[in-house]
Amino acid sequence: MEYGPPPLFRQGMSVRIRFLLSVLAAIILILVDGRLRAVDGFRSALVSFTTPLVEVVAAPARFIGEYENYFTSKRTLSDENQRLKEENQLLLLRAARLNELEVENARLRSLVEAVPRTTSHTKTAEVLGRVSDPFVSRLQINLGERDGLVTGMPVIGVYGVLGQVNRTVLHQAEVRLLTEQHQQISVVNERTGVHYIATGTGEPELDLLFVRQDDDLRAGDRLVTSGFDKIFPRNIAVATVTSVTHTPGETYQRVSASPGAITDDIQFATVILVDPNPTAALEAQTEEKQPFERRRRR
C-alpha cells in the first residue's frame, strides 16, 4: 500500500511529468542545434570552461601512464640489449670458427698440393701435439694401426717433409721429425742436381754430410727429396740452405739448412702408405743363401 504526502503539502507537477518534459526539451534542443547550429557558442564557452578542469583531473592518470610506459620501455630495452649481446657473442664465435675453417681449408689444400700426384695411397691426419720429451723432436697424430700405418712410413707436411712414423698404436701414431738427432734423408740440390745426405742435429736445423770443398752450394739453395731411398717420393721440399762454411784443411764443407715444413703451428700431416722397407724380401733371400755360400767356400 503506497503512502504519499498529504494533499495539503502537494505542490507542482509530479516527477514523471518532469522527466517527460526534460526528455522532450532535450529532443527539441538537439533538433534545433542540428538545424540552426544555435548552441555552438554556448557549447564552445562550456568546453573552454571545463577543459582546464578536465586536464587537472586527467593529469594524475596521464602521469602514471607515461611513467609506466617509461619503465616498461626501459625493461624492454634492457631485455633487447641482453638478447643482442648474446647474439653478438654467438656471431663472434661463428666468425672465429669460420676463420678457423678457412685457414684449415687453405692448409689442407696446400697439403694436397704438396703430395705428388703419383702417390695414390695417403692418409691425412690431425696433429695432436708434440711429445713432451725435450730430447726428441716428435709429433703425435690421430691415425694408427687401425688406419694402416706402419713404422717407417713417410710423413709430409704443408711445406714439405716432416719425418717418418716412429711408433704406432691402435688409433694414434708418433712421428719422428727430420730435426731429431741421427734422422737422415736423401736429398738433391734443386739448382745443381747434386745428391747429399741431410741429417738431424737435435736443433731446428739440418746438416748436409760429405759436402766436398769444390761442390757448388749457396745459401738459399732448395733441397728436395731424391727418391733414392724408395720411401719418400721425389721432388718434395725438405729444407733450404742457410749457411755454407769453408774451413781450410778440412775435407768437407759445413752446410746447414732450415727445414721448411717443421713449424710450431702444424695442424695436419699426410702419411704416405708405402712399404717402409722395400728391400726386405731381397735381404731375407740373401740371408737364406748365406749358409749355402759359406759351405761352398769351405
- pLDDT tens digits for range 1-53: 555 555 555 556 777 888 888 888 888 877 777 666 666 677 777 777 777 77
Residue 54 located in a structural domain:
yes
What is the average per-residue pLDDT within 239-268? 86
Distance from C-alpha of 153 to C-alpha of 61, rounded to nearest angstrom: 86
What is the average per-residue pLDDT within 125-149? 88
The pTM assigned to this predicted structure is: 0.57
Residue 287 located in a structural domain:
no
For residue 189, the model assigns a pLDDT of: 93
Higher pLDDT, 279 or 142: 142
Residues 35, 19: one domain?
Answer: yes
Residues 174, 75: one domain?
Answer: no
Split into its structural domains, the chain has a count of 2
Residues 81, 126: one domain?
Answer: no
For residue 48, the model assigns a pLDDT of: 76
Residues 133, 98: one domain?
Answer: no
Residues 258, 145: one domain?
Answer: yes
Tell whether the torsion through CA atoms of 11, 15, 18 and 20 is positive or negative: negative
* Residue whose cell numbers read 760429405: 210
Of the three residues 114, 139, 161, the one that is the final residue of a domain is 114
Q: Which SS3 state, helix, strand or coil, does residue 298 take?
A: coil
Q: The domain that contains 199 carries what CATH number?
A: 2.40.10.350
What is the average per-residue pLDDT within 273-290? 72
Distance from C-alpha of 251 to C-alpha of 205, rounded to nearest angstrom: 22
For residue 94, the model assigns a pLDDT of: 76
Residues 108, 126: one domain?
Answer: no
Higher pLDDT, 144 or 99: 144
Of the three residues 65, 98, 114, the one that is the final residue of a domain is 114
What is the average per-residue pLDDT within 135-159? 89
Residues 271, 126: one domain?
Answer: yes
What is the average per-residue pLDDT within 251-257? 91
- Residues spanned by the domain of 89: 12-114
Beta strands in 148-277 (DSSP E): 154-157, 160-168, 173-177, 184-189, 195-200, 206-212, 222-225, 237-245, 252-259, 268-272
Q: In percent, how much of the chain has pLDDT > 90?
A: 23
Distance from C-alpha of 142 to C-alpha of 270, rounded to nearest angstrom: 11
Residues near 32 by beta carbon (within 8 Å), at least 6 away in sequence: 38, 39
Question: Residue 169: enclosing H or E segment and its boundaries?
Answer: none
What is the average per-residue pLDDT within 81-95? 76
Residue 288 located in a structural domain:
no
| Sequential DSSP letters for 76-112 | HHHHHHHHHHHHHHHHHHHHHHHHHHHHHHHHHHHHH
For residue 119, pLDDT beyond 60: no
For residue 137, pLDDT beyond 90: no
Chain segment 54-69, per-residue pLDDT in tens? 777 777 777 776 666 6
Of the three residues 83, 98, 114, the one that is the final residue of a domain is 114
Select from 194, 188, 203 the least CA-distant residue to 237.
188
Residues 166, 95: one domain?
Answer: no
Residue 167 located in a structural domain:
yes
206 touches 199 (CB < 8 A): yes
Residues 138, 265: one domain?
Answer: yes
Residues 221, 87: one domain?
Answer: no
Of the candidate ranges 33-42, 103-112, 288-297, the one whose mean pLDDT is the lowest: 288-297
Distance from C-alpha of 95 to C-alpha of 82, rounded to nearest angstrom: 20
Most confident of 207-211, 231-235, 260-264: 207-211
Residues 161, 212: one domain?
Answer: yes
Residues 252, 149: one domain?
Answer: yes
